[in-house]
Structure 1
């Protein structure tokens, strides 16, 4: 294939990853391209790293398209899916990865902060699950839906009150959607990372530094992690790669911990 020829449509199908400009989302998008998927990537408008992810996907010989927007808004999600299908031909894997964090305790959390976290971390997942499922059902060949929960969605954290609530919500939505969609050949699962080298971990360190010193977040996680290290985004992507595969067709409704043994569930 000459460099002037665009890649052919993938036999694997098309994946869409939200929050894909950096961190875990970026790693997932690139891994799915390595697996043979064409990939649509989403993040907030004006996020400069999104272009770099597009280039990285294309360097793997796969087609890519950017679909920026705030996925807590329903019209954005429907437009994003329509753009993915019209440009790349279908939607076979949806990874609802986008999220944000506000570091506040229960007593500190305002209604406004709580609602913002719910919109970004829970409503966006619901919208992505719902509209991806509708598209997959219309295609008639099943699909894979994967969402982002967290270690904080299995064991709540004091300084992550609203964030913990949203990630527990993802687990519930994942189970319910799995029951609704199994007869269509669509599996729905989620991943629950522990400490991973991302901006969230940096924010956790910065938040705790005045109270407990530099790198307090990392050090606290290391103290309870069986493997004795912080994870990498690519390690989350490895799991998503499997959940997106044909081989994972008998796994659904699960939220799988990837935490190096910070706790066992």
Structure 2
């Protein structure tokens, strides 16, 4: 059973559907009820598994237990957490003009909410007897901006770099308890979040910004998440896998 946060559309929805096709029952979370969330649940159920809509804002740490409780009431004990929920900057601009409000917004979801939801999930796993033949995992979706600098959205970069560290910390804490902890760093993926800047980056990509000269698809990130969640890399933990078309590949 997997809980996928921020999954009514985009990468999160693709991961939820990928896990459903792999046989997972899926708890699909988003910040609140919506027709999109209900549609994602219906698509998952159409694969033959159970699915549930779980409304809840990851930024509100006081609600984390309720999110986990609701998911487990609907589908049973969770084995997998996909930390996908995230926000970008309110508006791009000069690093010297970043507001505290915009900075705090990125931190509240991308780092703080992520940390404490992961903590709450991990405590549950460690407190109960786990089924030995099931893989237990935490997969965090960060960004190529966990490493690469974009000075017109610095607060986002800071939050994703911190999220990357969160993944490493929990890997060090949990891996010997049989819980795989992984990170995926997407680059330019066709989603609503990247739509406003797609035309600009299409040109940069065509000019050689990435090794593979195209935007990625949400399903291409989902394939990695499914591999990790199903235990496809059993001797790996704490690693970040880039889904970035070679964006961060050093070239001369």
For the superposition of Structure 1 and Structure 2, which TM-score range results when normalised by the shorter chain?
Answer: over 0.9
Moved runs in structure 1, 4+ residues, more than 4 A? Answer: none
Distance 1:57 1:175, change over 3 A: same
Alpha-carbon separation, structure 1, partners of 2:53 and 2:12: 13
* Alpha carbons 2:202, 2:214 under 8 Å: kept: no
SS of 1:164's partner is: helix
Tell me the equivalent position of 2:241.
256
Are residue 81 (structure 1) and residue 68 (structure 2) matched? yes
Are residue 192 (structure 1) and residue 185 (structure 2) matched? yes
SS of 2:245's partner is: coil
- Structure 2: runs of 5 or more not aligned: none
Query: Of residues 139, 163, 166 in structure 2, which corresponds to 1:170?
Result: 163
Query: Of residues 37, 48, 53 in structure 2, which corresponds to 1:66?
Result: 53
Alpha-carbon separation, structure 2, partners of 1:161 and 1:47: 30
Alpha-carbon separation, structure 2, partners of 1:120 and 1:245: 26
Tell me the equivalent position of 1:28.
15
Query: Of residues 191, 200, 206 in structure 2, which corresponds to 1:216?
Result: 200
Alpha-carbon separation, structure 1, partners of 2:212 and 2:30: 32
Tell me the equivalent position of 1:211.
none
Tell me the equivalent position of 1:227.
212
Counterparts in 2 of 1:1-265, with a 5 A limit?
14-102=1-89, 103-141=92-130, 143-205=136-198, 215-223=199-207, 224-264=209-249
* Number of residue pairs aligned between Structure 1 and Structure 2: 243
Query: Residue 258 of structure 1: CA displacement?
Result: 0.5
- Structure 1: runs of 5 or more not aligned: 1-13, 206-214
Q: Over the residues paired in the alignment, what is the CA RMSD in angstroms? A: 1.4
Alpha-carbon separation, structure 2, partners of 1:99 and 1:217: 21
